[in-house]
Amino acid sequence: MSQIWLVPAFPLLGFLLNGFFGKRFGTRFVSFVGPLAIALSFAQSLVLFFQMLEAEGNILKEHLYTWIASGNFEVGINFQVDQLSALYLLVITGVGFLIHVYSVGYMDGESGYYRFFAYLNLFVFFMLILVLGDSFLLMFVGWEGVGLCSYLLIGYYFEKESAAEAAKKAFLFNRIGDFGVLSAVLLIFLSFGSIEFATVNAEAATRLEFGGTLVTAITLLLFLGATGKSAQIPLFVWLPDAMEGPTPVSALIHAATMVTAGLYMVARLSHLFVLAPFTMNVIAVIGAATALLAATIAITQTDIKRVLAYSTVSQLGYMFLAMGVGAFGAGVFHVMTHAFFKALLFLGSGSVILAIHHEQDMRKMGALKNKLPITYITMLLGTFAISGIPFFSGFFSKDEILWKAFSSPLGSPWLWGVGFLTAGLTAFYMFRMIYLTFHGNSRLDAHTAEHVHESPFTITVPLMILAVLAVTGGFFGVPHVFNLIPNGMENYFHGFFAEIPSGHGAVSTEWTLMAFSVGFALLAWFVASRLYHSGFELAAGFRRKWEWAYQLSLNKWYIDELYNTIIIQPGRLISTYLLWRLFDQNVIDRAVNTTGTVARTIGNTIRPFQNGLIQNYALVFTLGTFLILWYVM
Amino acid sequence: MIPIEHILLLSAVLFTLGVLGVMLRRNVIIIFMSIELMLNAVNLSFVTFARSMDSMTGVIFIFFIIVVAAAEAVVGLSIILSIFRTRKTLNIDEFNILKW
C-alpha cells in the first residue's frame, strides 16, 4: 500500500494539536508541531512521487471510505496521486514547510500564535485534499476548505476593521466562483452519471459533442470558479485586499498554493476543456487581459505587498493564458516556478517589513541593501526569476508560455503581444520595487533606521532555500529550442494532458521572440533603474505628464469603485427598498403581526367568560348537563 | 315495602337541593355541605337499585363513594380553612381572583 492518506493526515493532526492544546502547551510546542507536521507530509509526498513514477500508468489510487452510495452512484473518499497531483503535493508541502519555518520567526510574539499555526496547518490539509481527491465532490471539499482558511487567515488581525472587511470580501468573491463550480458539477453529473475525474476525462470526447453548447456551458462555469479562486477578471479584486493577512499567509495561500487551485482544476480536466474551443479562447483572452491589467496597476502601487499581490494576479493571468492556448504543461510549469519565486519575494518583503517595524510603504524605505544583505540578495534573485532574465526559473516557464501563445493553433500574435508587454511591465515594477526598497537614499525615520537588522535564521534560511529553487527551478523544463537537456516537464507530463494539434512556427521565430522579450525585460530594468535608483525627478516628471494614466493605475482602474456602483449600490438599494421595506416589512412582518392580532382579539372576546366566580362555572356546567340530557332524551 | 319510585323521587329531590345549594348559596361551608348532599343522593339511588335488583354492585359503589367523599372532605375542609385564614371571609364571591 502506498499510504496516501498519511499526506493530509499529518497537517490535520497538527491542526488538532495546535488548535486544541496549542494555547496550553505554549509557543515552543506550537513552533515544533506546526512545521513538523508539514515536514512529515513533505517526506511522504516525496516517497509517493517516486512510487508514482514507477507505478503502472503513473497513478496511485487509494480507497479510504465510501462516502455516498445511492443506487449506482457512488462517491468515495478516494485519493489519487498522478503526475499533476504529485507535482502539486511537492510544491504545497515543500514550499509550505519553508513558510511554516519562516512563520516561526515572523510571527514571534504575536498574540494568537497557536491560532495562526492551527489555521496554517488546516489550510495545508484542505489544499492536499483538493489535489488528492479523485472526484469533484472531494475536490470541492478542499476547494471550500481552503476558502475558509483563507478567510480565517486574512482576518487574522480581526480587530482591525480593514482586515475583517478584506476577509469578507475574499469570501464573497470566492462564493461567486463556487456557484459556478457547483453548477458545473451538477451538469457533469447529469451528462456523465459520474463525478470522478478519470471517468469524465476518459469519456468526455465520446459523450459530449466537440464545441457543443453543453460542454461550453460546463467549462465556462468551471472557469468562473477558477476566476474566483485564482483571482482573474472579473473576480480578481479580492486578492490585493487579502494582503491584510500576515505576510507568510500572503506567501503560502495568496501566491504559491491556493490561488493556483483554479489552474489545477483546468489542468486536471484538460480533456474536457479542449472540447470547448470557445471556452479556451475565453480563458486565453481573460488570462492575457488579467496579466496586463494587473501589471499596469502594479507599476504605481506604493505598498510593497500590494505590488507583489498585483504581480501575483498578473502571473496567474499568464498561467491561464497558457491553459487557454492548450499549453497545460507550460501552465503547470509556471505554477511551480511561480510558487518558488513569488513565495521568495513575499517572504523577502515580510523580512523587510519586520526589519523596519511593520512599515509597508516603499516611499519610506530605501537603502536597505547593506542592512539586510541576505534579504536583498535573495529578493534580487527572485526578481531576476520573475522578470524572465535568462536562465533563471521564470525565464524558461515564461518563454514557454509566450512561445505557445504565439505558435499554438489556439494562440495568436495578439496574445503573444499582450504577454510580451506584460513581461516588460513585470520587469519594470519588480525592479522599481527593488530600487525603492533597497537602493537610493534612506527615507526611514532616524529612530527606525538605527534599529534595522537582518532577520533571524528561521527567516533567512527559508529565503535562501527558496532563492536556490527560484534560480534553478527552471531547468526542469528547458524548452526544446535550447537543445541542451531534454525538456523534463514535457517528459514528465507525457500523455497526461489532452493533446491539441501541435503548433506551427520555426525555431528561428522562437529565438527571435525570445530575444525580443528578454531585450524588453532588460530595457524595463534599465528604465526602472534610471527612474528609481536615486532621485525621483524623472519619475515625478513622467507622473506630471501623464497624470490621468498615473491616477488610473494608482486607483486600480477604479474597478472597486465600478463594482461598488454597478453591484453593491444597486444591491443595497434593492435590499433596502424592495426586500426590506417592501417585502420584509409588508409581507413577512405583517403576516407575523396579523397572526398575533387575531389571537389577541379572540382572547379578548372570550376572556370575560372566565370571571373567577365559581358559581358561574357551576351554573354553566349545570345548564350544559341539562342540555345534553335534553338532547339525549 | 316502599315503592321504588318514591325513594328515587326523594333521591332526585335531595340532588336538586344540593345543586341549587351549590349554585345559590354564598357561604363556602354550605356549598361544601350541598356537594355532600348530592353525593348522598346518588348513594341513595345506588342502594335502591341494589336492593331492587338484588345485586351487590351498587353497594360496592357506595363504599367507594363514601371513601372518596371522606378524602374530599379532608382536602376540601383544609382548603377552606387556609382560604379563611388568608382572606378572613367565607363568602365565595370574594374568591374571584383566579381569572383571565
Residue A287 above 90 pLDDT? yes
Chain A residues in contact with B19 by the CB 8 A cut-off are 622
Residue A504 above 70 pLDDT? no
Share of residues in chain A with pLDDT > 70 (%): 99
Which one of B23, B80, B87, B93 would you mutate to disrupt binding with A, by most A Cβ within 10 Å of its Cβ?
Answer: B23
Dump pLDDT digits (tens) for B49-75.
Answer: 999 898 889 999 999 999 999 999 999
- B35 in reach of chain A (CB within 8 A): no
The x, y and z cell numbers of residue A472, run together, are 534553478
Share of residues in chain A with pLDDT > 90 (%): 54
Q: Which of A409, A430, A387, A393 is nearest to A284 (CA)?
A: A409
Give yes or no for a contact between B48 and B7, defined as CB atoms under 8 angstroms apart: yes
- B30 in reach of chain A (CB within 8 A): no
- How would you classify the pairing of strands A73-81 and A60-70? antiparallel
pLDDT at residue B33, rounded to an integer: 93
- A441 in reach of chain B (CB within 8 A): no
Chain B residues in contact with A613 by the CB 8 A cut-off are 92-93, 96
Give the separation between CA A320 and CA A226, rounded to whole angstroms.
10
Residues in chain B, how many?
Answer: 100
Among all residues of chain B, which has the CA nearest to that of A607? Answer: B100
Amino acid at A412: S
- A633 in reach of chain B (CB within 8 A): no
Give the separation between CA A114 and CA A121, rounded to whole angstroms.
11
The x, y and z cell numbers of residue A594, run together, are 396579523
Q: C-alpha distances in angstroms, B79 versus A362, B18, B34, B85?
A: 89, 20, 16, 10
- B70 in reach of chain A (CB within 8 A): no
Q: How far is CA A311 from the centre of its chain?
A: 13
Average pLDDT score over chain A: 89
- How many CA atoms are closer than 13 Å to the CA of B1, on its beta-carbon side? 6
Dump pLDDT digits (tens) for B9-41.
Answer: 999 999 999 999 999 999 999 999 999 999 999
pLDDT at residue A464, rounded to an integer: 93
Question: At A611, is the pLDDT very low, low, confident or very high (cuts 50, 70, 90)?
Answer: confident
Give the separation between CA A49 and CA A53, rounded to whole angstroms.
6
SS3 content of chain A, % helix, strand, coil (to 5): 80, 5, 20
CATH number of B26-91: 1.10.287.3510
What is the arithmetic mean of pLDDT over A242-271?
A: 91
Size of interface A-B (CB pairs under 8 A): 26
pLDDT at residue A589, rounded to an integer: 93
Question: At A633, is the pLDDT very low, low, confident or very high (cuts 50, 70, 90)?
Answer: confident
pLDDT at residue A503, rounded to an integer: 66
pTM: 0.81
- B19 in reach of chain A (CB within 8 A): yes
pLDDT at residue A310, rounded to an integer: 94
With cell 342502594, the residue in question is: B47
pLDDT at residue A409, rounded to an integer: 86
- Counting Cβ atoms within 10 Å, is residue A257 exposed (0-12), middle (13-18) or buried (19+)? buried
Chain B residues in contact with A618 by the CB 8 A cut-off are 22-23
Question: At A68, is the pLDDT very low, low, confident or very high (cuts 50, 70, 90)?
Answer: confident
Instruction: Enter the ipTM.
Output: 0.85
Give yes or no for a contact between A81 and A5, defined as CB atoms under 8 angstroms apart: no
With an 8 Å Cβ cutoff, are A611 and B99 in contact? yes
Give the separation between CA A331 and CA A318, rounded to whole angstroms.
8
Q: Which of A350, A351, A290, A279 is nearest to A319 (CA)?
A: A290
Chain B residues in contact with A614 by the CB 8 A cut-off are 92, 95
Spatial neighbors of A292 by CB under 8 A, at least 6 apart, are: A314, A317, A418, A421, A422, A425
Q: How far is CA A504 from the centre of its chain?
A: 34
* Residue-wise burial string across A407-422, b where 16 or more C-beta atoms lie within 10 A, e elsewhere: bbebbbeebbebbbbb
Residue B92 above 90 pLDDT? no
What is the arithmetic mean of pLDDT over A562-587?
A: 91
- Counting Cβ atoms within 10 Å, is residue B78 exposed (0-12), middle (13-18) or buried (19+)? exposed
The x, y and z cell numbers of residue A543, run together, are 507622473
What is the arithmetic mean of pLDDT over A336-345?
A: 93
pLDDT at residue A168, rounded to an integer: 93
Dump pLDDT digits (tens) for A95-140.
Answer: 999 999 999 989 888 888 899 999 999 999 999 999 999 999 999 9
pLDDT at residue B100, rounded to an integer: 63
Where along chain A do its domains lie? Answer: 1-134, 276-554, 560-632
Does A501 or A144 have the greater pLDDT score?
A: A144
- B22 in reach of chain A (CB within 8 A): yes
Where along chain B do its domains lie? Answer: 26-91
The x, y and z cell numbers of residue A42, run together, are 513533505
